[in-house]
Structure formats: structure tokens, C-alpha cells
Structure 1
Amino acid sequence: MSGKANISESLAKGLLILDLFGIEDAGFTLSEIAARVGISKTSAHRYVTTYCEQGYLARDPRSGLYRLGVRTLALAQSMIEQSELVRLLRPLVDEAAARHGLHIDVGILANDAIYLIYRRDSVDTHAFRSFSYASALHYLAAGKAAMAFIEPRALAELMARLELVAKTDRTITDTAVLEAELGQVRELGYARNNEESLPGLIAIGAPLFSLRTGAVVGAVSFDSSTATYSMQEFERLFAGYLVELAKKISAVVSL
């Protein structure tokens, strides 16, 4: 019997619904969920009702939008805390956060998205709504840092699929401009996010590589607010430290 025959299509569609959600998203209506997953509204209603009853999703009674529920968030946090990879990289990130007083994110690249696996918040960024995963890599420093070092053919295919949605008036929405910026990232060794994801938030991101294959596997980013640093000052003070931290984490990722 083939592997395909052993797959539960119903379960697969249900997991696709959960895969839509991330902290960066403002939530989805029932119609949006149905359209994105490719199922009827009746089927979507059955799925989301079950998820809400089990605590995996929650529906805002005022807006009607569905968002991640506490059970999903608790499960994700538990998985991250028990991860061997996180156990190894945590002291590196914690030490850097303590030394520089910055918000630090570590994300892994998979399926055209970057998924957060470890975060150290800072007082400077508590007011901002940070990502848990991002399916649009172009407006994050970590996303652009990873994109820049994807193998050229795979990058071209990704760029063809990528919808350059504007998150702020500074978000890059032109393919040629994004390609030029990715070239700069390759020259510098790190990427910049100058209020492209949220007004008032700046970041720099450096790629993580598998030392065995040489392939890019994710990125690490430093974040701050424009109330504390200008973009130029932030780069000058911390880009070198970021690139060094990325090298240390790459060694851990490759174990």
C-alpha cells in the first residue's frame, strides 16, 4: 500500500487550518479560512468549532476572527522548551541578550516561512507584537537574511511564489528592489529591517548555516526601537556581534 493511501485527508486539512495561524496574523474569518485551505465554509466551520471547543483556536465574539487558542500556544511552548536544539542555543542567546540588552529571535527556515524557535525579549520591544512564524519573509530582517543565501534556483522559485504584502509604508513591495537588497545582504553578511514590519521597530538579521551542507537553515536577529537607536547607530554598534553570534549558533544547529 502506498504512503499516500495511508494519509488521512481530513486530518491533513485540519492541520492546514492550524498552519495558517501565527502571532503576526491579525486573525482569520471563517470565509478566509475556507478559501485559503480550499474547503467549503461548512467544512471549515466543523473544523474550527472543534478546535475552539478543544482550546486550539479562539473566536473573538466582537470581530468574528479566529486566532490561536491557549492550548496551541501552551503546546508550542512546551515543544520549544524541551527541544535539544533550543537547550544548546539558549545559553548563547541568553548571554548575548544580557550583554547587549537587546531583543533576540532565532528562527528556522521551512516551507517558504521562518519559524521562531527561541526568543529573548527586551524592555525596549515589549510594546511590539513579534512574530511566531512569518510566511512572508521580505519584511523581516531574519527573513531577508535567510532568503539572501538560498540556492539561486530555489530563491527564484520562492520569489515567484512570494506575495510582497506591505506591512508598513517602508515595506519592500517591488521584486527588483527586493532582489537588489538581497544582493546587499550577501555583501554585508546581514540584513536590515528599517520599520518594514512595524512602525518604530528596527532589526538586523544574520543567516544560520548547516556546517555539514553549507545550506542556509534559518536566521538570528537583533531588534530594538527607534526610540533607543537610529537604524545607522544600531547597525554600527551591533552588526559585528550579530554575525559572530550567528556563527556560534550555526555550529550548534549543525550538531
Structure 2
Amino acid sequence: MDKKGKISDPLARGLAILELLGVEDTGYTLKEIAARVGMSKTSAHRYGSMLCDQGYLARDPRSGLYRLGVRTLSLALAIIEHNDLVRLVQPLVDEAAARHGVHIDVGILANDAIYLIYRRDSPDTRAYRSFSYSSALHYLAAGKAAMAFLEPEALRELVGRLDLVAQTARTITDPEALLADLEQVRRQGFSRNNEESLPGLIAIGAPLFSLRTNAVIGAISFDSATATYSMQEFEDRFAGYLVELAKKLSAVVSL
């Protein structure tokens, strides 16, 4: 980035646009892309046109909104099929999803964000949008589970960098309140998302650690609709299973 925080490298700009479109499936206008990535509208148009020509983006001719294109989907499927990390995680997650009937996300922490590497949906959560990549760690169960186990100084610095936006009335947006919540997560070993990201959606999360360095590297979350379980029922029923599964996943992702 340059001194003003704008992305200057051409490849980084293109990747930043793809990452942006991967977060929201509602699409973005050129003006929104330019503002969020940090470039002029002219540059956004040039990059958007190039990525559309290559199939990585698609533009709706009626609304003008840009979304991810079919080539991105093909690339994502290839990664899922051939990535060693996904192959190691998949059987454990699939078994847990089949046994417990819950939505499961596994994400890896990097660059102040959490990146989804594997997901299993459940029938009661298919109506809800879930993250594929998110820098809004403070309202995701997986994000909070990973953040809580950072070193204290690194955690405070991260909280200071995050944009603590409110997704619902229950989202924690005060830095000190968030730090207190994360301390509770650290003590009990798992996090809660009590309708903090979407009304009607609850989740619990547990951290993944590198067995070589003992550093937190990601998290796993179980999600459910409030129509199926209350927060307390969900926590009482699944927190123990979640923490044990997180330990098993830590063993395989650290190989």
C-alpha cells in the first residue's frame, strides 16, 4: 500500500476486488468498489472490465452490480478438490455434521481476517448468509474464538485495528467490552455468537492451534437457527463436541 493506505500494486488491486466481491453476494457498484478498495472510479472500471473479460467477475447489465464470475467458482472448486488442508479437514467435519446435524464452518486466521476453508450446511441455516472471508472478526463465533487466544498485546493491537461495526443490536462494538468478552472466551474455551451477525442465527466457536508452535491458527464454529435451539440449549448440547472436534482438527491442520 502507499502512504495513504491505498493499494498500489496492480495484482494486489485485482485480488482486493476479488476478495471484496467474495464477502458479499449482493454485488457492488463501481463507485462502491472504488471506495472500498481505494482506487479511482476510472481504475475500478478498468479492473472490473478486465476481470469480467476473463470470467472472474460478472456485471449485471440492468443493475450495474458486479459479482463473482463462473471462473472464480471453477477455481474455488478446484482448490477444494485438490487442497491438502481441505482433504484433511473434510472427513472429520463431514462426520460431525452427519452425527450432530449442525452447520459447521472451518476458517484459517490471516491478515486480520478469517478465511473459510471448509463448510457443511445444515437445513436450518441455509436461509442465512455465511462468511467466506471476513475481516469483521468481532461478530463471528469463529472470529472471536480465534482472536481470544492471541497473545494479549497482539490482541489489543488487532482490536484497535478492527472496524467494530454493528451488524445487529447485539453486536459488540465497544473495544473494552469486546476484550472482556474475549477474556471470557479464553477462560471457557469457546465463543458465542448470540444473534450478533444476523437476527435468528446463533453459533459457538472453538480455536484451532498449531501443535508445533501452540499459536492459534484458525477456528471452527457450529451454527444454528434460533427456531431450532435457544443459545443456552445449543451451547449445553454442542460445546463439548465442538471443543473436542477443534482438538482433532488442530492435529491434522498442523501436520
Instruction: Give distance in 2, aligned partners of 1:174 and 1:63.
Output: 36
8 Å Cα contact 1:200-1:227 kept in structure 2: yes
> After the TM superposition, which of the residue ranges 152-161 and 31-40 deviates more from structure 2?
31-40
Letter in 1 for 2:158: L
The answer to whether the aligner puts 1:226 opposite 2:233 as a matched pair is: no
**Partners in 2 of 1:181 and 1:223 — Cα distance?**
19
| Aligned counterpart, 1:99 | 99
- CA gap 1:226/1:112 in 2 versus in 1, 3 angstroms: same
Contact 2:160 2:175 in 1 (8 A): no
Aligned twin of 2:50 = 50
Q: How does 1:79-118 map to 2 (within 5 A)?
A: 79-118=79-118
**For 1:198 and 1:63, how far apart are their aligned partners in 2?**
26
Off by >3 Å, runs of 4+ in structure 1:
23-26, 60-63
SS at match of 1:22: helix
State the TM-score, normalized to the length of structure 1: 0.93
Give identity over the alignment, percent.
78
After superposition, give the CA deviation of every residue in 1:154-185 in whole Å (9 maximum; x if it has no partner): 21221111011111121111111111100110
Give the aligned partner of residue 172 of structure 2: 172
For the pair 1:125 / 2:121, whether they are aligned, the reply is no
Aligned equivalents of 1:58, 1:169: Cα separation in 2: 34
Deviation at 1:64, TM superposition (A): 2.8
Residue of structure 1 in register with 2:199 after alignment: 199
Corresponding residue SS for 2:251:
helix
- Distance in 2 (CA, whole Å) between partners of 1:99 and 1:57 is 37
Q: Which moved more, 1:100-109 or 1:65-74?
A: 65-74
Which amino acid in the other structure matches residue 69 of structure 1? G
Task: Kindly provide the amino acid, as one letter, of the partner of residue 181 in structure 1.
Answer: D
CA gap 1:207/1:24 in 2 versus in 1, 3 angstroms: farther
Q: CA deviation at 1:150?
A: 1.2
Distance 2:26 2:149 in 1: 29
Match in the other structure for 1:5: none
CA distance in 2, matches of 1:233, 1:204: 11
Listed as ranges, the matches of 1:54-69 within 5 Å are 54-69=54-69
2-structure distance, mates of 1:230, 1:252: 32
Is 1:11 paired with 2:11? yes
2:242 matched residue in structure 1: 242
CA distance in structure 1 between the aligned counterparts of 2:81 and 2:169, rounded to whole angstroms: 36
Structure 1 residues 82-91 or 19-28, which shifts more? Answer: 19-28
Structure 1 residue 81: Cα displacement: 2.0
Structure 2: where are the runs of 5+ without partners? 1-7
The aligned length equals 248
* 1:135-154 equivalences in 2 (<5 Å): 135-154=135-154
Q: Deviations over 1:142-162 (max 9, x none)?
A: 000001011222212211110
Long gaps (5+) in structure 1:
1-7
Which amino acid is the alignment partner of residue 37 of structure 1?
Answer: V
Task: Say what the alpha-carbon RMSD is for the aligned residues.
Answer: 1.5
- 2:39 maps to a residue whose letter is I
Higher mean alpha-carbon deviation, 160-169 vs 59-68, is at 59-68
How far is the alpha carbon of 1:31 from its aligned partner? Answer: 1.7
Structure 1 residue aligned with 2:215: 215
Query: Taking structure 1 as reference, are residues 167 and 61 closer, same or farther at Cα in structure 2, changes over 3 Å only?
Result: farther
Kindly state the Cα deviation for residue 104 of structure 1 after the two structures are TM-superposed: 0.5
Cα distance in 1 between the residues matched to 2:149 and 2:241: 20
Listed one character per residue, the Cα deviations across residues 85-111 of structure 1 (whole Å, up to 9, x for unaligned) are 111111111111111011111000011
